Amino acid sequence: MKNISRVLVANRGEIAVRIIRACRSLGLETVVAVSSADRESMAAQLADRAICIGPPSATQSYLRIDTLVGVALGSGCDAIHPGYGFRAESPELADMTRSQGLVFVGPQGETMRRMANKLQAREEAKELGVPLLPGSKLMTSAAHAELVAESIGWPLLIKAAAGGGGRGMKLVFTHDQLEPALASAAAEAQAAFGDGSLYLEHYVPKAHHVEVQILGDSHGNVVHLGERDCSVQRRYQKLIEEAPADILFPELRDGLRQAALSIARNLAYENAGTVEFLVDPEAQKFYFLEVNARIQVEHPVTELVTGIDLVQAQLRVASGEPLWFTQSDVVLTGHAMECRINAEDPAENFRPSPGRIKEWSAPNGEGIRLDSHCFDGYIVPPFYDSMIGKLIVHGADREETLKRLQLALENFQVSGISTTIPFLKSVISHPDFQSGNISTSWLENLLKDKSEDDA
């Protein structure tokens, strides 16, 4: 591959394994940067070389930009793949990587900067004529928020201007909830992003979270790879994702995809990214939310319905290769679902459950894929995200996919730690999920009802 022969994998867990496998398929060598807690990880075993970059604390290892670039240079890598999370959307990492003459497998730093500021992203989308939810500009005070709240319309979602992932996000239904929620959201945003700036957005209670996968090269070509419905969420964190989004009528689906392409073209978007929307299925309307300038956790569902390996595609376009297919070549086949398996105890309010996995017996069969870094005897460290794997299933349609997913979860045996597998089984067996009658608030409401029943 032009420009790339050895890739630094600047991440851990399942995505590190995923990147190593993609590199191997393309004949690229890999060096994985590991913290001292991950020396024995699957990624460390699979990579051509594993280099310990620091202690377990992410702030002293996976989050250190100078260390990541330094290890890439010192180990003879010519590219850095950041995965997702950690520094994946850091313009500083992208810029420093490129300034050292290395390839950054991701968008330009400037693209990340423009989309990291959610208010700027809204402004840019608005200029392109992409629909937005009624919202505010930057909040200057609680009194200011009180003033604009009425014009936006209740209920409201308080959002952090500098970030996403649910941090700094608060839902408010009434005036008296607004001031304390603003204070709490500002503190949370400040802690998470170093910036407590907030804005308000109208909240649609029965909405779906639908996102469009985009892929661009450095020659001005951009395509979309269909959409994903990621409405099953807990605390704004996605748990189950599927592709395509069955709630969309053809006209709405087309509008959504064209809006995503318009935003991508305006950004001269390079590499893989996601444009997120909120969809009101009753009104058959969609609204722009944000752009995630990275590969997403849920990318495999798109891979299964399109047949395109997104991580390989990232590496190929990052090396300067023009896209090797056009929009009309993208054909979606069947239906795919992904369940995120976490090392958590649902009975204990999803408390993390790190520790040694005694038994890891994964399901297999037609249409079943597992992206994971776990194995018998692996110790899930307590320092990082609790996700231990993603079970992804493909079928001819939603019904067949759901049946396969149920069977796969039934056959997934993990002992030694608590996992969310039993919880996921109950979620996908629920009649609402089976019929697709869900929304972004559906799971939260279900858990709230259950908790009240238990009390």
Residues marked active site are found at 294
Q: How far is the CB of 50 from other proteins (least distance, A)?
A: 9
Measure the CA–CA gap between 30 and 46, rounded to whole angstroms. Answer: 9
For the chain, what is the total number of helices (H) and then of strands (E)?
Answer: 15, 22
Q: Residue 251's CB: how many other CB atoms inside 10 A?
A: 9
Q: Which residues pair with 238 in a beta bridge?
A: 233
Q: How far is the CB of 69 from other proteins (least distance, A)?
A: 6
Tokens standing for residue 307: 């047949």
Q: Which is nearer to other proteins, 96 or 336 (CB)?
A: 96
Q: How far is the CB of 24 from other proteins (least distance, A)?
A: 23
Q: Which single residue is written with the structure tokens 């603003």? A: 182
Q: In what order do the strands lie in the sheet with 271-280?
A: 285-292, 271-280, 208-216, 222-234, 237-243, 335-342, 387-395, 368-372
Measure the CA–CA gap between 186 and 205, rounded to whole angstroms. Answer: 23
As a whole number of Å, the CA-based R_g of the chain is 21
What are the C-alpha distances in Å from 218 to residues 78, 317, 323, 439? Answer: 18, 7, 9, 37
Q: Which is nearer to other proteins, 77 or 248 (CB)?
A: 77
Q: Which is nearer to other proteins, 57 or 184 (CB)?
A: 57
Q: What is the DSSP letter of 102?
A: P
Q: How far is the CB of 161 from other proteins (least distance, A)?
A: 31
Q: How far is the CB of 74 from other proteins (least distance, A)?
A: 3
Measure the CA–CA gap between 197 and 374, rounded to whole angstroms. Answer: 39
Q: Which is nearer to other proteins, 53 or 212 (CB)?
A: 53
Cβ atoms 376, 2 nearer than 8 A: no
Cβ atoms 241, 335 nearer than 8 A: no
Q: How far is the CB of 65 from other proteins (least distance, A)?
A: 10
Q: How far is the CB of 36 from other proteins (least distance, A)?
A: 7
What is the β-pairing status of strands 355-356 and 208-216? unpaired
Measure the CA–CA gap between 363 and 342, rounded to whole angstroms. Answer: 16
Q: What is the DSSP letter of 38?
A: G
Q: Which is nearer to other proteins, 70 or 320 (CB)?
A: 70
List residues near other proteins by CB under 8 A: 36, 51-55, 61, 66-67, 69-71, 73-75, 100
Q: Which is nearer to other proteins, 70 or 352 (CB)?
A: 70
Tokens standing for residue 144: 């200011």
Q: Which is nearer to other proteins, 35 or 420 (CB)?
A: 35
